[in-house]
Amino acid sequence: MSIRPDWIAVDWGTSNLRVWAMQGRDVLAARSSDAGMNTLEPGGFEPALLALIDSWLGDGATPVIACGMVGSRQGWGEAPYLDVPTVPTGSPARMPVRDARITVSVLPGIKQADPADVMRGEETQIAGLIAEEPRFDGVVCLPGTHTKWVRISAEEVCHFRTAMTGEMHSLLSKQSVLRHSITADWDDQTFLDAVDEVMSRPERIASSLFSIRAAGLVGRECASPAARLSGILIGAELAAMKPYWLGQDVALIGSDKLCALYAQALRLTGLEARILDATRMTLAGLAAAYEGSLT
Amino acid sequence: MSIRPDWIAVDWGTSNLRVWAMQGRDVLAARSSDAGMNTLEPGGFEPALLALIDSWLGDGATPVIACGMVGSRQGWGEAPYLDVPTVPTGSPARMPVRDARITVSVLPGIKQADPADVMRGEETQIAGLIAEEPRFDGVVCLPGTHTKWVRISAEEVCHFRTAMTGEMHSLLSKQSVLRHSITADWDDQTFLDAVDEVMSRPERIASSLFSIRAAGLVGRECASPAARLSGILIGAELAAMKPYWLGQDVALIGSDKLCALYAQALRLTGLEARILDATRMTLAGLAAAYEGSLT
């Protein structure tokens, strides 16, 4: 039996494309590919989408609701940013399509003038959280390539900041001199010691990284250089974001592995963060936008 | 007339090979290539060297004195590290050669157990400084891919630390999302403002980088994103290295451009650093080692 969704949910980031065939809020099927924004030319977005969803399309025009970097200047088409403070879901931008079997709407990102900051995609996960918990008053941390810390109150995004922790980790562990030292070994205590060390003396960040490499050369390897690198970078992020998490109700939305690391690190400060399922939040946010488009 | 040096000085780093035909302390000729350690297989060092110096060789065996990463485990052969505190020049390690027209000696690097740290190449520039100024008592900063801060007293290296500032700058400006924002524009005040900002609030380092990118997206570009990135990274390094430079006589050894930036940044703290010519220091250090080998 063929799948005929009411609408199609799309999370289209820099390096991945994920689609869900939806009936109201229920998922009928899910697919994904590595056709992220970074891999596509301007004319390549519609074909990349159709390659995943073609078999789900019927006679009429199926609405497609998308979020993420697909709405950036380098994406399918620009979906303008909302300005903080703002509710996280704004009017979607319609993308030009050739195939009459779809209409494509992309949700806007959010921008902040001072300090300058932007997000695309995370606002939809936040919309999902607010759809599920309208009275949420606290901070959402969304760990990833560019981790976001977002203050939420009265169903609005008040202000936010980004740390490039995931991207720094990738560059340092794969392309810097530290790549010679990073192994698959992991040790929780090494991670926590590094978080604690950098949070209490953040001014030492710049001198602490090279010692990961040097320790191996002088015969003083730590139990896990990988855990130490993660601990230094996440510790530096927590030091920078202290005004966000201190004394707040913190929810984490991201991959299981990253959220668990952030929760461990925050526990050092006495804070118990809740971990929310990232895909569920994305779908709840896209569903809220789809339902809004029907009224 | 052909050049017939007494000896040949070699500075062999990760990405470059530089050679000088020497008569005592005088330079007869200089050549260089991009045959750095990173580009060479184990058997490739002798041919890479001969490609530059072949025409300088006569009937006898010409001594070659080298410093740098050529003496690392991944180099021609390992020249063991000296331990701090130490004079900066130790017994050179002889490398195996096939060509009877040369003997090759590589100077040892220096290592420190706690905090773990290593250097290879910089110790020879420090030896050059001490050869020229035996009474130097202060700190040498050698800006580069891996910037070293070295405390010198009584002709010895007492202790040192490394910051990966140059490598971080290269990764962030060429390979991270910030590459979209970095232009050729330079503005001194933007650089100094960023140094000052990060030195006074080093805990903000992790949240300050992404705003370089975001500022452009929200229409608030700073005068020079490149200057801001350099300022953040050098500011973070100065914050980490404060115990080194505070109240000290500081000498800078490195490229003219980098030394000028560090001198500008240090001037913000009221410190006037001297800039010493890097090649002169390298040659003075290699010459001291050559003269030591004759006695």
Query: Residues A213, A214, A218, A224: is their CA dihedral positive or negative?
Result: negative
Contacts of B195 (CB under 8 A, 6+ apart): B231, B234, B235, B238, B265, B268
C-alpha A59 chain-centroid distance: 34
Q: Which residue has the tokens 């933007």?
A: B190
Per CB-CB distance under 8 Å, the chain A contacts of B181 are none
- The reported pLDDT for the residue numbered B1 is 67
- Residue A128 contacts residue A285 (beta carbons within 8 Å): yes
Q: Which residues of B touch A242 (CB under 8 A)?
A: 203
Who contacts A291 (Cβ-Cβ below 8 Å, separation ≥6)? none
ipTM: 0.93
Task: Give contacts of A210 with chain B, Cβ < 8 Å.
Answer: 117, 146, 162-164
Number of structural domains (chain A) is 2
Q: In what order do the strands lie in the sheet with A274-277?
A: A156-163, A147-153, A138-142, A250-254, A274-277
Question: What is the structure's pLDDT at B12?
Answer: 97
Q: Could B162 and A217 be called an inter-chain contact, meaning their C-beta atoms sit closer than 8 Å?
A: no
Domain presence at residue A36: yes
Which residue range is the domain that position A86 belongs to? Answer: 7-120
Taking CB atoms and an 8 Å cut-off, how many pairs form between chains A and B?
137
Residues of A within 8 A of B175 (CB-CB) are 171, 175
Search chain B and give the residue with CA nearest A148.
Answer: B207
- Are B112 and B181 within one domain? no
* Assigned domain for B56 exists: yes
* Mean pLDDT of all residues in B162-173: 96
A153, part of any domain = no
- Is residue A171 within 8 angstroms of chain B, CB to CB? yes
Same domain assignment for residues A115 and A178 = no
Q: Is A111 helix (H, G, I), strand (E, B) or coil?
A: strand
Q: Quote the pLDDT of residue A2.
A: 87
Using the predicted structure, report yes or no on whether residue B295 has a pLDDT greater than 80. no
User: What chain B residue is nearest to A198 in terms of C-alpha separation?
Assistant: B203
Which of B162, B214, B240 shows the shortest C-beta gap to A118? Answer: B214
CA neighbours within 13 Å on the CB side: how many for A37? Answer: 20
B205/A202 Cβ within 8 A: yes
For tokens 């592995």, the residue is: A257
Please tell me if residue A41 touches chain B, with a CB cutoff of 8 Å: no
In a domain, B147, yes or no: no
CATH number at residue A246: 3.30.420.310
Q: List the CATH number of the domain containing A48.
A: 3.30.420.300
B101 shares a domain with B23: yes
* pLDDT at residue B42, rounded to an integer: 86
CA distance B109 to B129: 16
Asked whether the predicted pLDDT for residue B247 surpasses 70, the reply is yes
B260 and B179, same structural domain?
yes
Question: Where on the phi/psi map is residue B266: left (φ > 0), alpha (ψ -120 to 50), or beta?
Answer: alpha
DSSP secondary structure letters along A249-269: -EEEEE-HHHHHHHHHHHHTT
Residue A260 domain-assigned (yes or no): yes
Residue A222 and residue A209 in contact, taking contact as beta carbons nearer than 8 Å: no
Residue A91 lies in a domain: yes
Q: Does residue A70 lie within any of the structural domains?
A: yes
Q: Which residue is listed with tokens 């056709």?
A: A35
Q: What is the mean pLDDT of each run of 10 residues along chain A (295 residues)?
A: 92 95 97 94 95 95 97 94 96 96 97 97 98 97 97 98 96 95 95 97 93 93 94 97 96 97 98 97 97 86
On whether residue B237 sits in a domain, the answer given is yes
